[in-house]
Chain A
Amino acid sequence: MIKKKTSIELKKLNKRFGNITAVNDVSLEILENDFFTILGPSGCGKSTILRLIAGLEAQDSGTIIINDEDCSSVLANERPVNMVFQSYALFPHLSVRDNIEFGLKLKKISGDEIKIRVEEILELVKMVGYDLKLPSELSGGQRQRVALARAIVNKPQIVLLDEPLSALDANLRMEMQQELVNIQRNLKMTFMLVTHDQDEALSISSKIAIMENGKIIETNTATNMYEYPSKKFSAEFLGRINIIEGVSSVIDNQIVFNSDTFGKINLERNIKLPKDGVLGIRPEKIIIETEINKQKNRVSMNGIITNWTYYGDMSYITIELVNETKVYINVQNIHRNSLQELNIGKNLYASFDVNDLIILEK
């Protein structure tokens, strides 16, 4: 396989605002055609990284390399990146067409080519026929499309998206997520998005970086980030998880994890458990059963349902074990007439496969 080209590389980037360290020693590498997402709670510094890349903020130290060129001290207007702002930041006095043409005209591109590119982009973002409207005449979703069009029409090295979907309602957001992915794939562009929405990050990104307090905690592909996270924070931030605390020891060349809640768990894999390591199991990996499961590799437990939240397609249930440990389980509501089995107070068994356990560093 040919190694993909690096689109953006950040080296030891630092930025402080007064006493607050917004970006703390961040190094990242984003490959061409990636849909790279920085996911983190609000105020973790993820937007600052975008602003540093765009040149709207100057870093205290560190290097920003865009397309093999050191852009660390290049002015914002000369960087080959374009941004989609959270507030869209459309020029209120300009029509949709003038908004989209803005960057092209500054780059002294010929009138004919501007025309062709604007038509193409209007088609792509499904805004044909709206070109003469003012931003104040558009709905939130339409403004979003124009903001996106205005950025990608310039064919930048990388498109930066600062929580672009946060102002849209849930249905529209889902639709736009899908469109973003389609547009990114069609144009073969590099997209970099920041968000605090885990579902959004999982559904649209090819790679996810999890950020906390100005630091990138870990970077991985979207599926690996969910299925094989290595840090407790990222496992907990990206969806729900049951954490199993305990001590590991080696018995007969096998790692045995001795937990208070589940007793001895034989880890089949020959994996070195980190110091202070914990195990995690995702709620949907646990199934409920009527009797104890004695199959190889399965950990079975007995408990009482203490909570049941119904989501239509799914049920989120909590069972309490004999030792008062709470275990979260997600169940698909496959049959509507089996719902009464999830009544609160019902005693049942639940089990999971040890291969689904995630080993986490605290």
Chain B
Amino acid sequence: MSARMRHFTPINYTKNSALKLITLVFLIILYLPIINLIVFSFNDSKRNIVWRGFTSKYYEKLFENEMLFVAFSNSITIAIISTIISTFLGLTTAIALWKFNFYLKKYYDIALLFPIIIPEICMGISMLVFFSYISWPNFQLWPLSLSSIIIAHVSFIFPFVAIIIRARLSMLNSEILEAGQDLGANRYQVVRKIIVPFVNPALVASFLLAFTLSLDDFVVTFFTSGPNSVTLPVKIYSMVRFGVSPEINAISTLLILIIIICTYFAIKFLSKSNRELMK
């Protein structure tokens, strides 16, 4: 048995040609479209079909396009504000669910997953209906005009944060908190000097993750944005309706780059947090 099993251990899967092929096909399907998108953002042609030589003019064009710049700065602003709020809410939610017992706690636990498992389209529509039902004012002033999108983003992002932080908290032995108290820390100091530093790697990771979730969200944003609050994904969508130009490739490439960087650091912080706890 062991001789046959050896082929399938993760370490030497490359020795099995069938597995190698499957992996290759998988990687091609997954990454070729993205590579194609990036390559053609440098194509010196109006259309994305034939390679006509290298150019960076579409990137230069991006910076001259004021509409795109507004959409981009909207996206970044929304991402920063909703990430800060989500991280705070997620942290406090995680601590509450971890440390305290309260009425209907079990159901609250499940309810926390709702924004994650509900189809985004339903989330978007429900937000749209909700904002019109309570007649949320249509602010003209700049950051306030983004308020409805920020509220919608926070509502589906903070559960992610809460889940990541809670996973880290579950590794914190309750005797450690008692040791803190015993050494003279009051409740507030226990949170500030033990719990927060302990969850810090998870906090940073979820901060970055929340940032990417907010930055690239389209569906929920689409339903909650107005004419004064167009975000980058929504703007790209409206541009695509007139055909896919290399300019769209270029802006998408930039978006991918930002998200890859954020995700890279998120994973780095998470793995650091796990290493620290390994005995």
A and B physically associate:
yes
Residues of A bordering B, CB below 8 Å: 54-56, 75-78, 81-83, 85-87, 89-94, 102-103, 106-107, 134, 136, 150, 154
Q: How far is the CA of A239 from the CA of B256 in the complex (A)?
A: 72
Known: A56-B178, A76-B182, A77-B184. 9 other contacts (CB 8 A): A83-B178, A91-B176, A91-B198, A92-B198, A92-B276, A102-B193, A106-B193, A150-B179, A150-B183
Q: Which of B178-201 contact A (CB under 8 A)?
A: 178-186, 189, 193-194, 197-198, 200
Asked if residues B200 and A136 are in contact (CB atoms below 8 Å), the reply is no
Asked if residues A54 and B182 are in contact (CB atoms below 8 Å), the reply is yes
Q: List the A side residues contacting B178 at CB < 8 Å.
A: 54, 56, 76, 83, 85, 89
Q: List the A side residues contacting B186 at CB < 8 Å.
A: 75, 77
- Give the Cβ gap from A149 to chain B, nearest Cβ, in Å: 12
Q: How far is the CA of A240 from the CA of B172 in the complex (A)?
A: 41
Asked if residues A82 and B183 are in contact (CB atoms below 8 Å), the reply is yes
The reply to whether the CB of B173 lies closer than 8 angstroms to some CB of chain A is yes
- Give the Cβ gap from A88 to chain B, nearest Cβ, in Å: 8
Given contacts A89-B175, A89-B176, contact A83 B182 (CB under 8 A): yes
Q: List the B side residues contacting A90 at CB < 8 Å.
A: 176, 179
A-B contact count (CB 8 A): 75
Closest to A108 in B: B184
Q: List the A side residues contacting B118 at CB < 8 Å.
A: none
- Give the Cβ gap from B4 to chain A, nearest Cβ, in Å: 38
The reply to whether the CB of B99 lies closer than 8 angstroms to some CB of chain A is no
Q: How far is the CA of A239 from the CA of B198 in the complex (A)?
A: 45
Q: Is the interface of B mostly helix, strand, loop or mixed?
A: helix
Q: List the A side residues contacting B278 at CB < 8 Å.
A: 136
Q: List the B side residues contacting A92 at CB < 8 Å.
A: 172, 176, 198, 276-277
Asked if residues A136 and B175 are in contact (CB atoms below 8 Å), the reply is no
25 contacts between A and B (CB under 8 A): A55-B181, A55-B182, A75-B186, A76-B178, A77-B183, A82-B182, A82-B183, A83-B179, A85-B175, A85-B178, A87-B175, A89-B175, A90-B176, A91-B194, A92-B176, A92-B198, A94-B197, A102-B180, A102-B183, A102-B185, A103-B184, A106-B193, A134-B276, A150-B183, A154-B184
Q: List the A side residues contacting B181 at CB < 8 Å.
A: 55-56, 75-77
Q: List the B side residues contacting A55 at CB < 8 Å.
A: 181-182
Q: Which of A77, A90, A103 has the most CB of B within 10 A?
A: A77
Asked if residues A56 and B184 are in contact (CB atoms below 8 Å), the reply is no
The reply to whether the CB of B279 lies closer than 8 angstroms to some CB of chain A is yes
Q: List the A side residues contacting B185 at CB < 8 Å.
A: 77, 102, 106
Given contacts A136-B278, A136-B279, contact A103 B183 (CB under 8 A): yes
Asked if residues B183 and A85 are in contact (CB atoms below 8 Å), the reply is no
- Give the Cβ gap from B196 to chain A, nearest Cβ, in Å: 10
Asked if residues A106 and B276 are in contact (CB atoms below 8 Å), the reply is no
- Give the Cβ gap from B37 to chain A, nearest Cβ, in Å: 41
Q: How far is the CA of A107 from the CA of B185 in the complex (A)?
A: 9
- Give the Cβ gap from B16 to chain A, nearest Cβ, in Å: 37
Given contacts A85-B175, A92-B198, A106-B189, contact A154 B183 (CB under 8 A): yes
Residues of B bordering A, CB below 8 Å: 172-173, 175-176, 178-186, 189, 193-194, 197-198, 200, 276-279
Q: How far is the CA of A93 from the CA of B200 in the complex (A)?
A: 9
Asked if residues B179 and A85 are in contact (CB atoms below 8 Å), the reply is yes
- Give the Cβ gap from B101 to chain A, nearest Cβ, in Å: 15
- Give the Cβ gap from A94 to chain B, nearest Cβ, in Å: 8
- Give the Cβ gap from A333 to chain B, nearest Cβ, in Å: 41
Partner of B173, one of A76, A89, A93, A136: A89
- Give the Cβ gap from A48 to chain B, nearest Cβ, in Å: 13
Closest to B198 in A: A93
Q: List the A side residues contacting B175 at CB < 8 Å.
A: 85-87, 89
Asked if residues A136 and B276 are in contact (CB atoms below 8 Å), the reply is yes
- Give the Cβ gap from A104 to chain B, nearest Cβ, in Å: 9
Q: Which of A56, A150, A154 has the most CB of B within 10 A?
A: A56
Q: List the B side residues contacting A81 at CB < 8 Å.
A: 182
The 4 closest A-B pairs by CB, nearest first: A103-B183, A89-B179, A89-B175, A106-B184
- Give the Cβ gap from A81 to chain B, nearest Cβ, in Å: 8
Q: How far is the CA of A81 from the CA of B279 in the complex (A)?
A: 29
Asked if residues A136 and B183 are in contact (CB atoms below 8 Å), the reply is no
Q: How far is the CA of A92 from the CA of B199 in the complex (A)?
A: 11
- Give the Cβ gap from B247 to chain A, nearest Cβ, in Å: 47
Q: How far is the CA of A20 from the CA of B273 in the complex (A)?
A: 40
Closest to B178 in A: A56
Q: How far is the CA of A71 from the CA of B172 in the complex (A)?
A: 29
Q: List the B side residues contacting A102 at CB < 8 Å.
A: 180, 183, 185, 193
Q: List the B side residues contacting A56 at CB < 8 Å.
A: 178, 181-182
Q: How far is the CA of A154 from the CA of B189 in the complex (A)?
A: 18
- Give the Cβ gap from A79 to chain B, nearest Cβ, in Å: 8
Q: How far is the CA of A102 from the CA of B181 in the complex (A)?
A: 11
Q: List the A side residues contacting B189 at CB < 8 Å.
A: 77, 106
Q: List the B side residues contacting A134 at CB < 8 Å.
A: 276
Q: List the A side residues contacting B193 at CB < 8 Å.
A: 102, 106
Closest to B182 in A: A83
